[in-house]
Structure 1
């Protein structure tokens, strides 16, 4: 094996990609004239240039060069309904007849809040926002206000939005300037030691029940339970960021594990396909926003209760995000992960898949050229008509069939074999 072999294979794959997508290249070059790097969302950039998607149907997307792909990233977990869910489409069209923006309270707003509070044990009261990022910023700030403290415990590899990531990069991201205390994920002893050092200063502990952008690494139940006990002991507010893991059951991973945080944040798919965020928690905490009370916290946001978002979200919760549908989708994801890892082990392919249910991550496990190996794998899957995140994220959606998932499973194995042959 030589390191140049993999590099040469990747270079050839990129050349083929560029020659096969001239319209995307043209669109990208035009976009760079008004957008830094040709886009406004770093997570969907592809080297050497991104594909430009023209339309979608079901679980399929079509780019500006006419190529069709089965979408196995599902807009980074938010696209759980597929591209053209008829139930949502009908509700949205009917909602349009009532007006785009009403600038006032509507009945679907309180109905959606009631539905979400009934699903998540920790959410006695809830407020809406416009993204998971915004929800996490508001939840953290609320927790600090409630406790009167300054420090925020986060975890290595954690991602709570575009300005709240903790990947250990130097200068590679932006952060809201909270007073962070960074602890090791899934390490009870190490985390306990650090937290006790700052116990009287820590107002908030925020954690993903499974690291999302950090690689789909599930939190050990014992670790998450230790955070529940420790936060209670020191008087800090424990926040579960379930922006992604809320799709693992009708009440998120907290319901599966029976661990109830003080606050929970949601986002992604609960807007029925529109921009959405929510944060909620104990009545004692969330009542700080009760405008009937003196000195209540002001929380504005023009689109917090956007009528179309409320209608779409309520429709999704009542008719699509059912216990049975979520269970079936997550079982499909568990089966995919188990089948792939079995073949990876049997054939000694340099890959593994981690995750829970319908959210998973493919990792390139060779000790050298990790970025190159995963990039080559990505292009191999594109050649076979499958779309995942370039970093390896795989997220299933309701529009997929068992046949779709089996076809993807076979394509992943073929792509992994192709990468191994270049080593």
Structure 2
């Protein structure tokens, strides 16, 4: 039996197909050479992913000629938007040459800029992505501790090889994982009581990202710090997303220092970037003078990212990040009010948030695991038709390119969606 939510989603999908014929053709062509027509699964949407031709400020132009305001910010990697400082750094590399197969001064300058931002980081190593950096951080913790077991949390995303959302297990690296509920201090205490001498590290996002922008409670992170220290384990904080919450990331906000910190996304200014770092004692594992581990990677110090990184760190000072995250806090409150007619909640912290088709509160991924995915798709298509681009899962991350006019228009679009579909609330499972 087709219910009213199916009808509404069917209508929205039909209009999407009609409005984006060129995207549809390109999607069909892409399936001939890439499985599913994509090489980044998160960008796939039903019935096909939108194709973008260009961008100016915070506005994307699709191949079908529509202009849409970008609220997604490339899943938080596009924090800066298009900045002339980044373009100038890239042009400088083009003028000097790239791919030397040697070291240069820019990587030292970039490394120093990161070390100066994060109190817990004395030294860093660069990688090509946050996924790679997370994997290297865990391998480092296992080596330094001489243990194998890794405590992680349900709903976490630590890159492609370490994802703890449904369906991710076949591509997960075969470490000895203890997957526990997020924000559940008692579960972590029980794990350390039974296996404390086997645990190499606790790997945690200060805010579950792909799992729905669910912030950690201060008590939870404090307990992780105390338990790891008491049992000789390492605390690894994945700040690929949350490092934008302050100059010193979530660690500055929470006042908790990790043994290893993982970075990625926006520090590369839109280019491939990842890094992991920690205390001099931990990072000595890679020092050749001390018989260090070999950490290879042709593009770890690629000339483009190294040059851009220094420019990015200069642009993202304390005042800039403070204003950005205050703007996000206001938007989250406004969104929650706009979504009241359909009973959606909005989770997140600072400039990152997720619109959830379920009432709050939300403290862990399991709180929203059973929501009807049709609502997510309907919201995505409705907002896109009104000129606003977010992730299909309801996620958005503000960039510095967004204006108050953009955000006011987005709130109006969200309110219009909620008012139009309020009569469908009864069909949503509670």
- When the two structures are superposed, what TM-score results if normalisation uses the length of structure 1? 0.96
Q: Which residue of 2 aligns with 1:43?
A: 42
Distance 1:343 1:364 in 2: 13
Determine whether 1:255 maps to 2:257. Answer: no
Query: Could you say what secondary structure the match of 1:380 adopts?
Result: helix
For 2:386, which of 384, 390, 413 is the aligned residue?
Answer: 384
Q: In the TM superposition, what is the alpha-carbon distance from 1:421 to its structure 2 partner?
A: 3.1
Distance 1:155 1:3 in 2: 37
Query: Could you say what secondary structure the match of 1:62 adopts?
Result: strand
Determine whether 1:362 maps to 2:364. Answer: no
- Give the conservation status (yes or no) of the 8 Å contact 1:377–1:419: no
Write out per-residue CA displacement over residues 9-42 of structure 1, whole angstroms, 9 at most, x where no aligned residue: 1011101111111100100100000000000000
Moved more, 277-286 or 335-344: 335-344
Determine whether 1:307 maps to 2:303. Answer: yes
Query: Could you say what secondary structure the match of 2:326 adopts?
Result: helix
Structure 1 residue ranges without an equivalent (≥5): none
Distance 1:173 1:57 in 2: 39
Q: Which residue of 2 aligns with 1:58?
A: 57
Q: Which residue of 2 aligns with 1:393?
A: 395
Q: Which residue of 1 aligns with 2:67?
A: 68
- Give the conservation status (yes or no) of the 8 Å contact 1:46–1:390: yes
Moved more, 139-148 or 182-191: 182-191
Distance 1:179 1:395 in 2: 33
Q: Which residue of 1 aligns with 2:142?
A: 144
Distance 2:26 2:342 in 1: 36
Write out per-residue CA displacement over residues 272-326 of structure 1, whole angstroms, 9 at most, x where no aligned residue: 2210000000111101111122x210001111011111111111111x2111111
Distance 2:250 2:418 in 1: 31
1:2-401 residue pairs with structure 2 within 5 A?
4-82=3-81, 84-167=82-165, 169-170=166-167, 173-293=170-290, 295-318=291-314, 320-345=315-340, 348-365=341-358, 370-401=372-403
Q: In the TM superposition, what is the alpha-carbon distance from 1:414 to its structure 2 partner?
A: 1.2
Distance 1:422 1:182 in 2: 36
Distance 2:159 2:422 in 1: 34
CA distance 1:417–1:159, change in 2 (3 Å): same
Q: In the TM superposition, what is the alpha-carbon distance from 1:349 to its structure 2 partner?
A: 2.5
Write out per-residue CA displacement over residues 231-253 of structure 1, whole angstroms, 9 at most, x where no aligned residue: 00111011000000000111100
Write out per-residue CA displacement over residues 52-91 of structure 1, whole angstroms, 9 at most, x where no aligned residue: 1111111111111111110001100001111x21121112
Q: How many residues align?
A: 416
RMSD of aligned alpha carbons: 1.5
Q: In the TM superposition, what is the alpha-carbon distance from 1:344 to its structure 2 partner?
A: 3.5
Query: Could you say what secondary structure the match of 2:171 adopts?
Result: coil
Write out per-residue CA displacement over residues 218-277 of structure 1, whole angstroms, 9 at most, x where no aligned residue: 000110000000000111011000000000111100011110010100000111221000
Q: In the TM superposition, what is the alpha-carbon distance from 1:403 to its structure 2 partner?
A: 1.4
- When the two structures are superposed, what TM-score results if normalisation uses the length of structure 2? 0.94
- Give the conservation status (yes or no) of the 8 Å contact 1:132–1:243: yes
- Give the conservation status (yes or no) of the 8 Å contact 2:208–2:214: yes
Structure 2 residue ranges without an equivalent (≥5): 360-367, 426-430
